[in-house]
Amino acid sequence: MSLYYLQKLLYQLNRDPRLQQQFFADKASVLAAYKLDDQEVEAVEKPDIGMLYILGVNGQILMHYAAMCGYAWPEYIQAMRDALAVHGNVRAGLYVTTDGKGAV
Amino acid sequence: MSLVFAGVCSHGPGITGRRAMAASDDADSLYAAMDGMRQALEASRPDALVVIAAEHFANFFMDNMPAYCIGMGEEYEGPIENPQWLGIQRTQVPGAPDLSRRIIEHTLQEVDVAYAQEWKFDHGIMVPLHFLTPRYDLPVIPVNINCQGPPITPLHRAWAFGKALRKACDAVRERIAIVGTGGISHWPATPDSGKINEPWDRDFLQRWASNDRSRLLAYTDEQTYFEAGQGGFEIRTFIAVSGATEGCTATVHYYRPIPIFAVGCTVGIVSLEGQI
């Protein structure tokens, strides 16, 4: 797991339009700069918003990447709910302590 | 001069970005309450507005996360988010660098803060400004309390920060307004977005309105997380306002849980009579 770098990539994408342009033109060239494992790379490239949530990406970072990838708000919420049903608990980060549901 | 206005309000991005998805009475009543806050703010004739916010990884990340940061820029740009997503057009917001510097210098006498001459406003500041300074003509001094990436500042330090900020406001000649903005209970941007613990919120707001220091500082982060969600960490912004207005009661002018806005929407104003 390299949640720190996964979140850093999305944080920098969210705030840098030029990096966004480069990313959507050539994802590999951007991803190469971050220490990500294969599962993380796949989830970002696809994009698999639900899996990114399961991997522990903070929603305050993830919701902007989802919007950047064309997810409407209800689709974004549903993607995380679907991923919880398929994959189970969130595996790292702030939400892991609530049994993967982000709430009591 | 001194503090001429203090209040709190919500800042959820859905308030502007998902307005069309809300029941009209929910949106209309909240918007009216925010406009009432604007009128009260304008009536106080501030020279600058200090916004105590809890930004969401727009400027600060876990590579160098300040517990507290005060802006010192000449101007700021926002929103950093997609303007269509947020429902607020991107604009320039004037800063007050000289005033910021003096406030930072005074605040540093009491507590340690970082400062930033660059700052891109996210919804945490832009949503309040959209309602409170819709012409973006009032200089703004942004303040951030890290409420997103633990470890986060203890509640008693948020109170102490507010007190220090108040002393700084008292030490400058300008008329200063402070608005704290955060959620109370909420689980923003998660599968539980829309969940709101209304009893918890109302109890917190009673503590806030009565400026009850001991009860405001009695929460543990573990308790807050489980009862009020990770968004509940943002009570630090309200507590800082309470610290800045120690001894003053406040009025909660609006509270309504609005799930599509993902938060119990709140407008509160502190009674500063006798202190100005």
At residue B149, the pLDDT reads 85
Asked if the structure places residue A33 within a domain, the reply is yes
Residues in chain A: 104
Residues in chain B: 276
Number of domains in chain A: 1
Structural contact between residues B256 and B265, judged by C-beta atoms closer than 8 angstroms: yes
pLDDT tens profile B208-266: 999 999 999 999 999 999 999 999 999 999 999 999 999 999 999 999 999 999 999 99
- Report, as an integer, the average pLDDT of B22-26: 98
CA distance B80 to chain A (A): 7
Asked if the structure places residue A35 within a domain, the reply is yes
pLDDT tens profile B1-21: 689 999 999 999 999 999 999
At residue B211, the pLDDT reads 98
Residue A59: domain span: 3-98
What CATH number has the domain spanning B3-270? 3.40.830.10
**What does each C-alpha distance from B81 to B56, B202, B215, B253 come to in angstroms?**
11, 31, 36, 29
At residue B36, the pLDDT reads 98
- Report, as an integer, the average pLDDT of B28-44: 98
From the list B17, B58, B230, which residue is nearest A94 (CB)?
Answer: B230
From the list B56, B63, B85, which residue is nearest A67 (CB)?
Answer: B85
pLDDT tens profile A58-84: 999 999 999 999 999 999 999 999 999
Angle at alpha carbon of residue B109, lines to B106 and B114, rounded to 5°? 75
At residue B274, the pLDDT reads 66
From the list B120, B148, B191, which residue is nearest A60 (CB)?
Answer: B148
CA dihedral A89, A91, A96, A98 (to 10 degrees): 10
Q: pTM, whole model, 2 decimals?
A: 0.95
pLDDT tens profile B90-142: 999 999 999 999 999 999 999 999 999 999 999 999 999 999 999 999 999 99
Asked if the structure places residue A57 within a domain, the reply is yes
- Structure tokens belonging to residue A75: 């689709």
* CATH number assigned to the domain comprising residue A66: 1.10.700.10
Pairwise CB contact (< 8 Å): B57 & A11:
yes
Pairwise CB contact (< 8 Å): B62 & A98:
no
At residue B108, the pLDDT reads 98
- Structure tokens belonging to residue B3: 């503090």
DSSP structural state of residue A38: H
CA-based nearest residue in chain B for residue A81: B191
CA distance A93 to chain B (A): 10
Asked if the structure places residue A104 within a domain, the reply is no
At residue A96, the pLDDT reads 82
Query: Buried b / exposed e across B80-102, counting CB within 10 Å, b at 16+?
Result: bbeeebbbbeebebbbbbebbeb
Pairwise CB contact (< 8 Å): B187 & A102:
yes
pLDDT at B63 over 60: yes
CB atoms within 10 A of CB A24: 12
Exposed, middle or buried: residue B230 (CB in 10 Å: 0-12, 13-18, 19+)?
buried
- Structure tokens belonging to residue B100: 């910021």
At residue A102, the pLDDT reads 45
Structural contact between residues B145 and B52, judged by C-beta atoms closer than 8 angstroms: yes
Pairwise CB contact (< 8 Å): B82 & A68:
yes
Percent of chain B exceeding pLDDT 90 equals 96
Residue type, A88: G
From the list A4, A67, A94, which residue is nearest B82 (CB)?
Answer: A67
Q: Please report which confidence band the pLDDT of residue B155 belongs to, taking 50, 70 and 90 as the band edges.
A: very high
The mean of the pLDDT values for chain B is 96
pLDDT at B276 over 80: no
pLDDT tens profile A32-67: 999 999 999 999 999 999 999 999 999 999 999 999
Asked if the structure places residue A51 within a domain, the reply is yes
- Tell whether A53 lies on the interface with B, counting CB pairs under 8 A: yes
Percent of chain B exceeding pLDDT 70 equals 99
CA distance B14 to chain A (A): 10
